[in-house]
Amino acid sequence: MGSSSTHHNYKMFMCFNRKFKINDIQPPFDLVEAFTIYSQKGTHMNATQLHRFLVDFQAEDTTEADATRLLDDILRRRRHLSKFTRQGLTLDDFFFFLFSDDLNSPLNSQVHHDMTAPMQHYFIFTGHNSYLTGNQLSSDCSDVPIIKALQRGVRVIELDIWPNSAKDDINVLHGRTFTTPVSLIKCLKSIKEHAFAASSYPLIITLEDHLTPDLQAKVAKMVTEIFGEMLYCPECQHLEHFPSPEELKFRILLSTKPPKEYLEAKQSKDKGNASPASSGDDTQPNSTQGDSESDQDDEDSDAASDGKSGQLVAPQYKRLIAIHAGKPKNGLREALRTGLDKVKRLSLSEQALERAALNYGPDVVRFTQRNFLRIYPKGTRIRSSNYEPLVGWMHGAQMVAFNMQGYGKSLWLMQGMFRSNGGCGFVKKPDFLMKKGPNGEVFDPKAPLEVKKTLKVRAYLGDGWRLDFSKTHFDTFSPPDFYVKFRILGVPADYAKLKTKVIEDDWAPVWDQEFTFPLTVPELALLQIEVREYDMSEKDDFGGQTCLPISELKTGIRSVRLFDRKGEKLPSVRLLMRFQFS
C-alpha cells in the first residue's frame, strides 16, 4: 500500500515538474525552407531579400523602402539578443517576425474598400438595444455598453426612448420590462464623446420612439444642442441617392419612424383639438421584448398628440431624421417587390427574414439594392443571445442588429465580419449583391454555383497559453492537449467543419496539418478558428477563437492572434498558419 502511494506521489510530482519544462519552439519546415531560398542559402536575410520574400511568397504590395523599415523594426525589437549590430535577419529573427501578429497579420489593418458608393451598398456594424448591460428583461440600462460598442467600431447604436414617470423628460430603457432606466441626455453625451473613437465613418442612431410630440420636441432640441454640426440633416426628406460613408465622415445620423403626419391634418381640421393617436397598427404596443413581433416594424411610436404642441414640433423633429423607418402597407412581399412609399429603412425580426428568404429571397436582395434593411433578434432571446447573421448578409441586409453584450459563436461571426476593411464598421457589399440581370434577376444564395476558389489552410503550431492561463487551468496534473477546429460559414453550399489531431501534453502544440475548403461564394465566407483542449471525461475546454473574413485573407505564412469568448484579444495566444488560394 505504502509503495503504491509513493509511486502515485512520484508520478504527480513528475507531472507537475513536466509542466514547467518548456521546449523552445522550432520554426516549421516551410518557414526554414523559405528562409533558405530567399536568403540565398545564407545565414542572414537582408532588406532586398526580405522585400523579395514579402512580394513573391506573401503576395504583399510593398516597396524595398518598406522592407528596410520593417527589417530595422524587427532588429530593434530583437537587439537585446545580440551585442553586435546585425546586417540582416537570422532564422530566429525571421521566425520572430512571422509569428508577430502586429507585424504579420492575416488581415489588412487599413480601410481599403471603395467608400464613395451610397450607404445602402455597405454592410454596417449594428447593435441591438445598445444600452443594456446584460439580459433583455432585468439588467441595468447604462451608457457603458454603448461606449464599449463604439470603441469596438459599432456604427449603429439603438436607443429605446420613453417618457420618465413625470412625463417631463426622456429615459432610455427596454419598455415593459424590469430594466432600470438611464437618461437619454447621458447616453447622447457619451455617444458624442466616443462616436468616432474607432472609426471616422458615420454613426447612425436608431430610435425606437415611444414619446409624445412634446417630448419629441425635447429630443430634437437635445440632439441639436449636443451634436451641433456633427448632426446630418438631409436637405430634402426623401433622398433618391443616399450619401456615401466618405461624404458622411464624422457625422451622426438619426433613423426612426417620422412623427405621425396625420396629426397635422387632424390639427387643421379640428382647429387645435386633436385627439390621442389611435390608428390601429400604428400604435399597437410592442411585445414585452421591446421589439415589435408583428414582423412589420419595430419602431412603432406610442406617441399621443396633445394638440397645439404636436402641430408645432412634429416637423422640427421630423427634419432631423436622416433615414426614415417604416413598415409595409400592403404586406411584406408587396413592399419588397415594389419598394416602400417614401421610406428608406425596413425592420424585420430574424424569423420574418428567414421566412422571406425561404419564400422570396431574390425580392429581399432586390429591395436591399435601394433601401436599408435592418434585422433584429427575436423576442425570446431573453439572455441577449444572437442568431445566424449570414442569412441577412447573403440577402443584402445592411443592418444585422446584434446584442453586443451577448455571447456565443454568432457574435464571433459578427466580430469577424467587421474585422474587414480595417475594422471601420462599413464593409462594401460584393458587387453581385448590387447587380441586376437583363430581366431584373438578382443573386440567389440558394442557386447552385460552381466552385470559384479553393482555400488551403495549414495550421503549423500555437503558443502563448502558458502566459495567458494558469498552469492548472486546463489539466491539474499535466500540460494541455490542444486541437484546432475550423468552420467555414457563408452560403449553404460553402459550409464546412474540420479539425486537427489532438497534440497531447504540450503548451506549444505543433500540428502541421493542411485543410482544403472549396468555396462557391468566397466574398461572403468566414473562417472560424477555435482552439479547444481535449478532455476525456468532461466537455472540452475553450482555448481561444478568431473569425476571419475569407475575402480579406492575406496569403502566405501568418500569425493569427486569438480572442476570448467575448471577443477580447488574448494577450499572448496565437497560431502560426499558412493561407493559399487556388
The H or E element containing residue 453 is strand 453-463
Q: Positive or negative CA dihedral for 69, 72, 73, 74?
A: positive
- Tell me which residue of 498, 504, 555 sits closest to 528, measured CA to CA: 498
The four Cα atoms 375, 381, 385, 386 give a dihedral, to 10 degrees, of: -20
- Helix, strand or coil, per DSSP, at residue 559: strand
Please list, in sequence order, all residues whose beta carbon lies within 8 angstroms of the beta carbon of residue 449, skipping any fewer than 6 positions away.
Answer: 491, 493, 520, 521
529, 484 contact by CB (below 8 A): yes
The H or E element containing residue 122 is strand 122-124
174 is catalytic: yes
258, 324 contact by CB (below 8 A): yes
Q: Beta partners for 348? A: 375
User: Residue written as cell 517576425?
Assistant: 97
Copy the grid coordinates of residue 21: 519544462
Cα–Cα distance between 146 and 188 in angstroms, integer? Answer: 10
User: Residue written as cell 540565398?
Assistant: 40
Residue 164, number of CB atoms within 10 A of its CB: 14
- Cα 90 to Cα 67, 140, 392, distances in angstroms: 15, 55, 48
- Which candidate in 128, 210, 324, 395 is catalytic? 128
249, 200 contact by CB (below 8 A): yes
DSSP per-residue letters across 503-515: BPS-SS-EEEEEE
Cα–Cα distance between 505 and 479 in angstroms, integer? Answer: 4
Scanning 293-408, the segments in alpha helix (DSSP H) are 308-319, 332-338, 350-368, 390-394
- Helix, strand or coil, per DSSP, at residue 233: coil
Cα–Cα distance between 386 and 404 in angstroms, integer? Answer: 9
- Cα 319 to Cα 13, 210, 313, 365, distances in angstroms: 74, 18, 10, 29
- Helix, strand or coil, per DSSP, at residue 47: helix
194 is catalytic: no
- Which candidate in 113, 174, 324, 395 is catalytic? 174
Catalytic (active-site) positions: 128, 174
